[in-house]
Structure 1
Amino acid sequence: MSKLHISVAMGDYDRNRALYDGRVQIDGCDPVYMLLNPEEMFFRAMRSRDFDITELSFSSYLVKHAKGESPYIAVPVFLSRAFRHTSIYVRKDRIKKPEDLKGCRIGVPEYQLTAVVWARSILQDDYGVNPEDVTWVRGGIDTPGRPEKIKLDLPPGVTIEAAPAGHTISDLLDKGEIDAFIAPRPPSGAALSNPNVAWLFDDPTTVAKDYYRRTGIFPIMHVVGIRKELAEQNRWLPAAVFKAFGESKAKALELLADTSATKVTLPFVEEQLKAARETLGNDFWSYGVEPNRKTIEAFLHHHHAQGLSCRKVGLDELFHPSTYESYSI
């Protein structure tokens, strides 16, 4: 029996490395891996369905899935997670605390980006800054004229403006024409060296740890999607993909914990690993539905409340049915 030839687009992360170097196989598959940045993957996946299996923006997937228009069905593999307190930059000469953002202008690359959804939820839940309390200015981080990947139908009271032609939101932050900036990447160019531009939270790690202790939420950014027709034709495939990505992550964590010679080019890795386990538990980067129920349900709530998903999607319909449960021995 010949193997299924598939294309797989994903980021170059340690948790994926055992897949593309061949140490872990997807059962029954002969994959071609493409290691791409998120912007390219997500644009090509949603615009032209270029890949059989692909990393997806959680938010973009949910926008499409809620309408029944997603070309992909997700499996609960969460390749990117991050506490987005570090995604909020402000003009420190005018913004001293989160509540000061009311009435301000905030730059975003796209309104529906997952990182931006999570950051808005933090500002709303913890500091009372609602989406309609600010003016959102949409534009590229490095390149002017970035389009919104997906057409949105936002609720009344939400104000979005396009950045002036030829300008990025990084430029606008540097010049003081916006008060804040929220994005998955930091501002670029002169804004990075501007002494008036800095994180909103002076110690975002401490704030994020407090957020986790209060909420139990470790924000999910990306999921893995399989083209629907491929999953329908090969009903064994979603479970095989879920299994393989989990095995690859397990190998990455084994290496990370081997401190005889650190596997990442960063000091204090052993200390950071210990701190992560003390705060989030040993399975701090879990895949699967049940270990992540609280985080997923919070995102479903905020995504719909922010007007991005046209209906409240239930957790039981979010992923391929075969990935909600697994065998045990």
Structure 2
Amino acid sequence: MARLTLTLAATVSDRSQPVLDGRIPIAGCDVVALPGEAQDIFRRTLADKAFDVAELSMSSYMVAAARGDQDYVAIPVFLSRAFRHSSIYIRKDRGIAGGADLAGKTIGMGQYQQTAGVWVRGILREECGLDTTRVHWRTGGLEKPDSRGERTRIRLPPGVDLQPIPADRTLNGMLLDGELDGLMLPPVPSALRTHPQRVGRLFPDYVAAEQAYFRKTGIFPIMHVLVIRRSLCEAHPWLPVEAYRAFAQAKAGALKALTQVNINQVSLAWAAADAARTREVLGDRMWAYGLAASRHEIEALLRYAMADGLLARAVTPEELFHPSTHSLADAD
């Protein structure tokens, strides 16, 4: 059988690097590695269908799947996970003491359909009682003007106030000028460092808030998923499982590296101790792959996205992933 040549676009992490550099092969495949920056990979995957295998925003993939886009199918490999209580920044002079106080406020973000925003809005609704339709949402570039808009088309229901900021403005500048009451996005705005008297976090002790959220819900938020060109899966039905196995092996090695104490494999002085403390909160399976292990997280994100008005129809977790991967677990 002839080997299959694949282009693989992904950000570089301890979970992807061994596959990108060939230390861990995808069986039966020759991989043309195209490491890159997440937002560029996402846009090129969605707009140009540029890659055979790609890391993709989980929310963007769900939006596309719900409207019937069949170009790619996911496998339950989650290259990025992140708690997001840390991603909410506020003006300290606006009387915002908790999530519910964001009602009536004007909040900036990079994109409405960004996965981090979907998680944060869902958390604010379900954990803080915020009616997110009462927030005025504004999108744009954080530190540099960015008028590109949403990376994939969305159609929101009436009542959602979503508008771009002026093309020559930045979210950070408008926050400092008082035109925005807060920001909701993963990068830390420079205003937090330069003007701490004006700008703070909604959850100052965000680690404690995130750990409490996990203990209550069991959710370690999924950010990115791995997708494969559907036509390749149809032509080579073995491909989804082999890709899953390669990335699961890479992730297992990354987690093992955190515990090595004879020669540190991670550039942190107390990496093993930090990993042990993390395991105390998250349990033995700190970064789960597989549909069964992550079903509750996928269901929560689908619920949040539906409440945001992002999904054209209800979607089940099974619909998102190639059928051959539904029963796979980390050990497979």
TM-score, normalized by length of structure 2?
0.95
SS of alignment partner, residue 54 of structure 1: strand
Which segment is superposed worse, 15-24 or 125-134? 15-24
Aligned partner letter, 1:187: P
Match of residue 232 from structure 1: 234
* Total equivalences in the alignment: 328
Instruction: List, as ranges, runs of 4+ consecutive aligned residues in structure 1 with deviation greater than 4 Å.
Output: none
SS of alignment partner, residue 129 of structure 1: coil
Q: Is the 8 A contact 1:231 1:238 kept in 2?
A: yes
Distance 1:132 1:317 in 2: 28
SS of alignment partner, residue 14 of structure 1: coil
Match of residue 78 from structure 1: 78
Equivalences for residues 2-41 of structure 1 within 5 A: 2-41=2-41
Listed one character per residue, the Cα deviations across residues 272-299 of structure 1 (whole Å, up to 9, x for unaligned) are: 2111111111111010011111111111
Q: CA deviation at 1:263?
A: 2.4
Q: Is the 8 A contact 1:61 1:70 kept in 2?
A: no
Match of residue 140 from structure 1: 141
Question: Are 1:315 and 2:317 counterparts?
Answer: yes
Equivalences for residues 80-229 of structure 1 within 5 A: 80-94=80-94, 95-144=96-145, 145-188=147-190, 190=191, 192-195=193-196, 196-229=198-231
Distance 2:46 2:142 in 1: 20
SS of alignment partner, residue 285 of structure 2: coil
Question: Are 1:261 and 2:263 counterparts?
Answer: yes
Q: Is the 8 A contact 1:6 1:53 kept in 2?
A: yes
Match of residue 290 from structure 2: 288
Equivalences for residues 46-61 of structure 1 within 5 A: 46-61=46-61
TM-score, normalized by length of structure 1?
0.96
Q: How much identity, in percent, do the aligned residues show?
A: 43
Distance 1:261 1:197 in 2: 41
Provide the aligned C-alpha RMSD in A.
Answer: 1.5
Unpaired runs of 5+ residues, structure 1, are none
Which segment is superposed worse, 89-98 or 8-17? 89-98
Aligned partner letter, 1:16: S
Q: CA deviation at 1:259?
A: 2.2
Distance 1:5 1:212 in 2: 40
Q: CA deviation at 1:97?
A: 2.4
SS of alignment partner, residue 15 of structure 2: helix
Which segment is superposed worse, 232-241 or 147-156? 147-156
SS of alignment partner, residue 257 of structure 1: coil
Q: Is the 8 A contact 1:18 1:248 kept in 2?
A: yes
Equivalences for residues 291-310 of structure 1 within 5 A: 291-310=293-312
Aligned partner letter, 1:47: A
Q: CA deviation at 1:194?
A: 1.3
Q: Is the 8 A contact 1:81 1:219 kept in 2?
A: yes
Check 1:16–1:228 CA distance in 2 against 1; reply closer, same or farther (3 A cut).
same
Match of residue 326 from structure 2: 324
Q: CA deviation at 1:171?
A: 1.3
Unpaired runs of 5+ residues, structure 2, are none
Listed one character per residue, the Cα deviations across residues 18-54 of structure 1 (whole Å, up to 9, x for unaligned) are: 2123221101000011111111000110010111000
